[in-house]
Structures are given as structure tokens and as C-alpha cells.
Structure 1
Amino acid sequence: MKKDNELKILIKEAVLGVFKILMSLIGLLPKLFVKGLQYINDRLRFSISFKITTFYVFIFSTLLILSNAMVVGGFLYFIQQHATNIAADGSKVYISFIQNTVEVSPYIGIILAITIISDVVLLLILIPIGGRVSKKLLLPVKKMNETIENISAQDLNTRLNVSGSKDELKDLAKTFNDMLDRLQRTYEAQNQFVSDASHELRTPIAVIQGYANLLDRWGKEDKEVLDEAIVAIKSEAEAMKTLVEQLLFLARSDKHTQKVEMVDFKVNELIGEVVKETKLIAPKHKILNIHNEEIIINGDRSLLKEALRVFIDNSIKYTEEQGVIKINSYVKGKKLVLEVEDTGAGISKEDLPFVFDRFYRADKSRTKESGGTGLGLSIAKWIIIKHKGQIEVHSKVGHGTKITILLPLKEDNSQ
């Protein structure tokens, strides 16, 4: 019995020792694994497929260690509990004793060997299978990468393939394609902008150069030619100056560097100024101001005046002499309404959606006569949007155009 008790104590200590070692190893494995991955990842480049496979191999091997620890521990516990086995068979009683740990250790060794071999075999099977599966799952990413490498500023028409299963990769491809659509539109607009600006600058430069050559040949002694050249050069230089200023304004607005100084001011005073100036500029037109309510808003006074001047200048250009131009200001609901209405040529339905595009001109035949650059309406739209406002355009060919600007009122506004 003494040997039996000693055997039980030895087995119990062995079980506890094995569990302590296994638990300590299991506790250290995640920390060691994470630190090892960080160390390796900082110094080497591994594919996502490799990382996924490594991660799941680690999880699987950890589960195997836990399960094997439970098997070995259970076996040792079974041996400890059954070191003495008593069996009854009728009137006979059989008592068997495990004499010492030497008889038990071979079984423990066999079990450990079997578990280790089975773990290694399972891992050897899992690693290649996991690698192939992860590569197959990540194949769309590889194709995306190949497609993206072929995309350049000169070829923005290529798009990622979004066919196949509905998953996060498809959502990513759709998002990337949407981004490419926006980039392509911006790139094409920029190219068009540069082309149009070059064209607009080329014309006045050519005119100035032509008159300079004319003066150089024989205009110095001919007063009539000299006067004509001076007038033309001054006119084209002024047109270039206006165009360059507008281009700089739009460039600053695109880069969000255009200054907007928001202050409180009386709209009726601004409208009064604009009406007075318009009557001086266009004495042959009927300038009417029926509504001009006294109201205070918060905005950039000079920019809003510039926007109004753009609409009024267009009305003057495209309205015949003795035609009517109305400039009104009033409150409607929670909005300030600014109106510029004329009885001019009007805008066709085909041109109406594009009037705010840069360098777009509805009436191409009157471009040089009117002296416009096609940028004024774009600038006016930017100013109104910057003030959180809206622009409505109603026009009919032969009957005139009505521009309605809606601006938010101050919350504490008082008349």
C-alpha cells in the first residue's frame, strides 16, 4: 500500500507538472507569436496570402496543443485514479497494482509521440491547403493590382472588373471605379480648361501682334492707322487682363484659396449701387427696380456684387436697345431673393443646362462682339454656392431670361 500511495503521488505530481508547463507555453505563445510577426513584418515583406495562412496555422496549432494537453492530462489523471484496480467476478476478487512509474512511462511516451506526429502531419497538410485557398480567395486582388498598374493619366478609361460574387472586394472595385470616373471627369475638364484658356489668350495676342507689325511697317506716319492700332491694342489688352483675372479667380477657387470675407451688410444699399451703375453703363436700356426691401444678410459684399454684375452684363449684351432689365430684391420665406430679368434674346433649351460651364457660350456668333470670355457665369455660380445659395434660370428664346438667386437669411435678421 505504501508503494501504491507513492505511485499515486508521483503520477499526480507528473500531471500537475505537465499541465503547468503546457499552460505556461500556451500563455507565452500568443505574445511570442505577435512580437515575432511584428519583428519580421518590419523587416520583410510578406504577401497577404502568407500572413493569412500563418495566422490560421498558428490558431490551428494552438488548438491542437490544447486538445493534446487535455488528452495527455486526462490519461495521466486516469492512471492516477486507477493505480489500484479492484474487480469482482462472482465469489472471486482480483486486485492488481501498478508497481512503479516505470510501467506507466512507456504509455505516456507513446501517447506523446502519437500526438506530436499527428500534429506535425496535420500541419504539413494544412499549410499547403491553406496557402492555395488563401491565394484563390485573394486572386481578385492580384487582378485588381495588375489592372491598376496599367492605369495612367493618358489612359483613364480602364476600369476594374466588378463581375463575380458579391463581397467586400466587389464593393472596393466599385468604389475605385467611381473614384476613377471622378478623376477622369476632372482631368478632362482640366485639359479642356487649359485648351480653352490657351485659345482665348491666343486671339488677343495675335491681334496685338498684327497691329504691332502694321505699325512697324508703315503705321508710324499714318495717323489713321496709328489711332486704329492704339485703340485695338488697348481693347485687346483689356480683354486679356479681364481673362487673366478670371482665370486666376477660378484657379484660386479650385485650390480653395480664394478669400471670402463674410460680413453683415444691407442688401438694399448694394442693389441701389448696382442699379445706379447699370443706368450709367446702359443708358439706352430701361433699368427698373420695383422691389428693394431693406434687409441685412451675412456675406462677402464685393463678391456678391461681382456675381450680380455678371448677370446684369449678360442682360445688357443680349437685350436690344430700349429693352427692359429688372433688378429686384425681396424676402420670400426664409430666403433672400435677388432677381435679374430681361427682355432679351433668351437661351435655348439645348444650351440652358451648360450656361454655367467654363468657356461655354450659347451665342457663338456674338462672341467677339460682346467681348465675353465664357467664364463670368462660372465665377458667379461659385460665388453663390460659396454663400450657400442657389441659382434658378428660366429663359425662352425671343422672350428673355430671368435669373433668380436664393440666399439664406440671418437667423436674427430684423428689418
Structure 2
Amino acid sequence: MELSDLVNQTTIFRRKVNHVASQKKDRLAKTVGKVFDTASLKVRLTVGIAAVAALGLGSLAAWTSAKMQHILVSTHKENMDYIAGRFPMDVEIYSEMIPLETGAQRAIDSLSTKDQLIWIENTTGKITARSTALNKAEIGNILLAVKNVPSIPTVQDLNGSYWLMCATPLKVKDVNLGTLYLAHNITENQVMFRHLIRSLTVATIIAIAAMTMIIALYIDRSMQPLKKVSQLTATISADKLDQAHLNLEQAPTEVKELAQTVDQMLVRLSEAWEHQRELLSNVSHELRTPLTIVSGYIQSILRRGDNLSEMQKEALTIAASEADRTVQLLQDLLDLARADSGRIQFQSEKVVLNDLIQEVAGMAQQYSKRTITVNSSAPEIAIKADSHRLKQVLLNLIDNAVKYSDAQTPITIELDKHNNQAVIQVCDRGVGIPLQQQGRIFERFFRVDESRNRAGGTGLGLSIVKTLTEGMGGNITVRSQLNQGSTFTINFSLL
């Protein structure tokens, strides 16, 4: 093998690897896009229902938290209101035998506990009486430094400890003693409440996540009938419209109605497709005969046209060529119409490919004036096929190679057998086919590039090749590289 051939094969292999990797990446992107497709009905329903559920659970959790907070402090508030209302009377009782300031201190001592602290601030801002615990700096400095204490008991966060505080004017025996301050330590209750709120928040988030998953699974299961409709309709081809049927007995009523509508549409499409095929077949058949007669008359005139001028001969030659081209187009359409309707007939028999390919190569070389080389690795390779149709396939492939390659380059036909398969390859060194268009090359009326088609074609030749090859039990593939040429490979089972 020459170095240049090795480099070319390495380049082709690298491009194929890159193409496969690109396809896998595209498939992964499509899969991720399907899962997180914001335009998907499943995603919209899941997000919508989950959002409503989250809003409901969140609102319930917030209301529960507020209610628990209210219950937590309401008892302490009632107690503080009771103390604030009773305190002046206690001071008045104690001050019957002692001064008011001393009576106020006695009342504070009797009402104070380790969590309930009381102090009095006179009109000048001086503390005149207070609970014994306020003499401790760590508590007293914190509580006594609080300013603008409200008259309604309110929770205050003081360096990590929580106190319910309120202030009320203190007047005893028509004497203004200043302001009475009450502080109740609810740190333990508040910490317990905060832990409870965190647990409630975590439970709410878990509940929302679980509910979202359950909703997503339920919606996905509910959407299965629609997915089935999509999958079935995606696999329906034009030639199987009459066999297509959607059976969704267990689906919801709306989906059943959709399936019935699709079924009716498929029936109408099948009828329209059948009418179209019949029309195509009839028109092709009816036009082929008169055009063949016209072509025959023109050829007869040209053979006997010694008295024709050069301009007349040129005009008649062009007319004959176009008539032959149109007849061939009609024949191709007729063959495809017969294949679509299943009326094309194959006369299968034993065919020795070595002899048939030599015959075809000789015929093609005669009308194309091109060098056609046949290489075979075995003296006799036999298959079961329709010899007439197989000749048509090979002639179409050779004609395609002639159209898309220079006249100076040879056309090669390789015949080999591999893994119990007969392998026929038609190779040219022409313009090649872009990689992204090689998958469509066998479609009807598809042409890679009009500017590359020097001979003019209908785009039906390769479609007929594929139809006839598969009708005889074979398959055909193409491998091509731009400006390097194309290789069409046909495989048949050996006899």
C-alpha cells in the first residue's frame, strides 16, 4: 500500500471517528434537552403542580410557625400583664409601714424569679429598685441597656438570649415612681422553638421534593399514551399507511379521541397516497408510449435526413435526446410506482456475477466512451437475483460515476466475496459527496449540488438502484470523500 493511500485511509478513519463522537454528543444533548425541555407539557405540568403544592405547604408551615410562636409567648404575656397590673397594689400594701421606694423593692423581691426580672427607673433615668439577679453584670448590663422598651410584651434578642420585655408607667398613691420594666427569660423555649422551626422547614422541603417526584412520575405515566402515539406515528412510512393503526384502549378519553382522529387521518392519507401512486403510474405509462413513438420518428428522420441542413439536424438531435431523456424519466417513475404498490416483479435465478459484470462493463464502455476496469478475486461468484434488474442497477451506478467524474479518470468495478456475501463495488475518482449528505443520497429527486451535475439528472437513478437492490434481497451503501471519489457497495448472499 502506498503512503498516500495510507494517509487517505487514516484521514477517512479519523473523520468517521469524529463524526461518530459528534453524533453521540448530539444524542446526549438531545436527551438532556428532552428531560429539561421547558416547552414540554410534562415539565410544565410538573413545575406548575409542584409550585402550587410548594406554595400551599410553605404557607401552612409559615402559619404553623406563627401560631406556635404566638402560643409560646401568649402565656408569658398574660403573666406579665397580670404582674404589671398587680404591682402597684403590692407596692401600696408594702408601703403602709415603710417608704414607697422600700415597698417597691419588697414587691419586686416577692415577684421576681430566676426567669422573671423587674426594675423601676425614676423620671430622671435612675434605677431605684430592681431584682437581685440584675446586680450581676452579665445580666444587668444587657437588660438595663435596652432602650425604647415597648408597652406591649415583645421578644428581644439580646446577644443570643431571648427576653420578653415590656415597660409601663408606675404610679402609687398618686406618686409617679417612674417606669416599671418587666423582663421574662424565654431563651430555652425560643431555642426549642427555633429547632422545631428548622425541623419543620426540613420536613417541608422533603415533603415538597417527594411530592414533586411523585407528581412527575404520575404525570410521566399519564403521558405514556401520548408518547405511544408519537412513537407509532414516527415509525409510519408512506408505503405502510394502510397498515398503521393506533390501539389505545386503556388510555384516557381525550387521548382515545386523539388516537381515533389520527387513525382517520392515516386512512385519508393512505387513500390519497394510493390515488397518487395510481395517477403517477397511469400518467407515466400513458406518456411513455407516445414519447417513444415521437423519439422513433425523430431517429428515423435523422437516419434519412440527407437533405436536412446542419441546423435542422442539430435541432432534431436535441429533440431526440430530450425525448429519450423524458422516456427514461417516465420509465423510472413507472418503476418506482410499481415498487411502491408492490407490483414490480423479480425473476430470480442463478446469476454468475463475473460474466454479468463483464457484459455490463462492455455495454457501459461502449456508450460512455470511458475506461471501465473489472477486478475479481474469484473465478466464479454466483448469487440468486434478477439478471435484468441487476444489469439496470449496475448501469445506473456506472452512469452516475460517469456523470460525476472527469473523462480522463477510470471507473473500476470490484467483485469479491466476504463472509458468505458477494460484494460488488463501483468506484470513481470524481467530485465526491459531502459527509452530511451521504445519508440522503438514495432519496428520490435528491441531488447533492446542481453545480456539480454536469450531465443533468433527475435524482431518481440512485433511488431506483436502492429499491431494486433491496427488492432482490441485497443492500447498498456509499462511502465518499470530496474531490477523491465515491464507492458504492452492493452486497448479496452467495448461493
Q: TM-score if structure 1 supplies the norm length?
A: 0.48
Q: TM-score if structure 2 supplies the norm length?
A: 0.41
Q: Which has the higher contact order (CA 8 A, sep 6+)?
A: 1
Larger radius of gyration: 2
